[in-house]
Structure 1
Amino acid sequence: MYYNINIVIADDHEIFLDGLALMLSKHQGFNVLGRALNGQQLLEIVNRENPDIVLTDIRMPILDGIQSTRQILSAHPHTGIIALSMFDEENLIIEMLEAGAKGYLLKNAHKDEIIDAVVNVYQNKNYYCAQTSSRLATMIVRSKFSPFNEPKIVLNDREKTIIQMICQQQTTQQIADKIYLSKRTVEGYRVKILEKIQAKNIAGVVIFALKNNIIKEEDVLY
């Protein structure tokens, strides 16, 4: 599917910023409208360009990503914001989500995941980095961030069982063996479940399962 997504990016490390801009601009349908080295520059560019998506570092001079997110969404509520984070910034990721960001990525994320995150947030979906730790998933569940605004999703018992097993890092073959189904049937269930709960990866499944009391924190293996 072809997209025409206008993007602004911000990071105070110019080499990283340039590399990210180059990678995104090479993807068909992505238009990088501006680059900012601090939060103040980011606000100025966003106010001028009104992009669909903003990818922003959390730690920046003048205005950090959290402050910038609040101000951007106050003036441009339909802008999708994705936080760029280091691996040890879990508390800051929570603050970004509570400020209104719809997703987050670690800075070492693969380019395919970055593209996936941009497309999903553009579609007004939440995106959780594939490298999300169980600790961060639990923090998201306990936070003020409310990722599920859709009507209540109805799951049958078999779907709930498969979700529990996914959260315990069981493979498709292991799940098939335990519930006496073919591997192909379980694969079909997994695809259907991901579509139903709008999850892109295991992180999304874990957060959904915890939020909806399908699995307990102590039973998550991640």
Structure 2
Amino acid sequence: MIRLLIAEDHQSLIDGLQLLFKDDNEIEVVGTARDGKELLEKLQIKRPHVLLTDLSMPRMNGVELCKKAIGIQENLKVVAFSMFHNEDAVKEMITAGASGYILKTSGLNEVRTAIIKAYQGERYFDSAINIDEVENTEISVKKTILSPSEKKILKLIAQGKTSSEIAEIRFTAVSTIIKHRKNIIQKLGLQGKGELLRYALQKHQHFN
């Protein structure tokens, strides 16, 4: 039986995953955590075979969590479960030691497949991800396409600042900040304000 530990800050997703594996004859959910620090505490007690983790969580992002978890339990397999479909996020998780990367837009059965493959020592990536392309692309590409001003605005967004507050800090018009937000969303291939905030939080947490 594969012992699975889940790090996810959305209770609805935790509930869905627990329901999926409730009567599974191969996978058992041995614990869940709403943030990285809670997960690391449970890791040493539960001793799972596989860790399924979100990338954007309170107190510790998925990349940092992956590194620390593998540092604690060397044979642990990690599968990322994320809404971010961009090369930076995928490559960072691979570099951190992850065995798989699944998008939250995919079916839960694909999550199950990724967990089993990881446990078996194989890698598994969402069908929407071109892993060959990701691994042949420098991680800095996405970062460098943002202008210096956009990078600074992205950090302010990560701090929870509104467009008005950012405009005041940057001594510019609110309309200019709104334009920058739209440009950042377009350049990074994000979907709307909510995804921009999550992306900003993720990036701000592990490479300023």
| TM-score bracket relative to the smaller structure | 0.5 to 0.7
1:143 shift after superposition: 5.5
1:142 shift after superposition: 3.5
Equivalent of 1:67 in 64, 80, 95: 64
Deviations 1:173-216 (A, max 9, x none): xxxxxxxxxxxxxxxxxxxxxxxxxxxxxxxxxxxxxxxxxxxx
Give the secondary structure class of the aligned counterpart of 2:70: helix
The CA RMSD measured in Å over matched residues stands at 1.7
Specify the alignment match of 1:32 in structure 2: 29
Q: Which runs of 5+ in 1 are unaligned?
A: 145-222
Equivalent of 2:97 in 70, 95, 100: 100
> Does the alignment pair 1:142 with 2:140?
no
Q: Distance in 2 between matches of 1:40 and 1:143?
A: 30
Cα separation, partners in 2 of 1:87 and 1:70, compared to 1, 3 Å? closer
Q: How does 1:103-114 map to 2 (within 5 A)?
A: 103-114=100-111
* Paired AA for residue 72 in structure 2: A
Question: If the length of structure 1 is used for normalisation, what is the TM-score?
Answer: 0.59
Deviations 1:21-50 (A, max 9, x none): 221233212110101100111111111111
Question: If the length of structure 2 is used for normalisation, what is the TM-score?
Answer: 0.63
Q: How does 1:160-179 map to 2 (within 5 A)?
A: none
Specify the alignment match of 1:90 in structure 2: 87
1:139 shift after superposition: 2.2
Q: Which runs of 5+ in 2 are unaligned?
A: 140-208
* Paired AA for residue 119 in structure 2: Y
* Paired AA for residue 22 in structure 1: L
Give the secondary structure class of the aligned counterpart of 1:109: coil
Q: How many residues align?
A: 139
Is contact 1:9–1:21 with CA below 8 Å preserved after alignment?
no
Is contact 1:38–1:60 with CA below 8 Å preserved after alignment?
yes
Cα separation, partners in 2 of 1:87 and 1:63, compared to 1, 3 Å? closer
Cα separation, partners in 2 of 1:50 and 1:5, compared to 1, 3 Å? same
Cα separation, partners in 2 of 1:131 and 1:15, compared to 1, 3 Å? same
Aligned sequence identity (%): 30
> Does the alignment pair 1:20 with 2:17?
yes
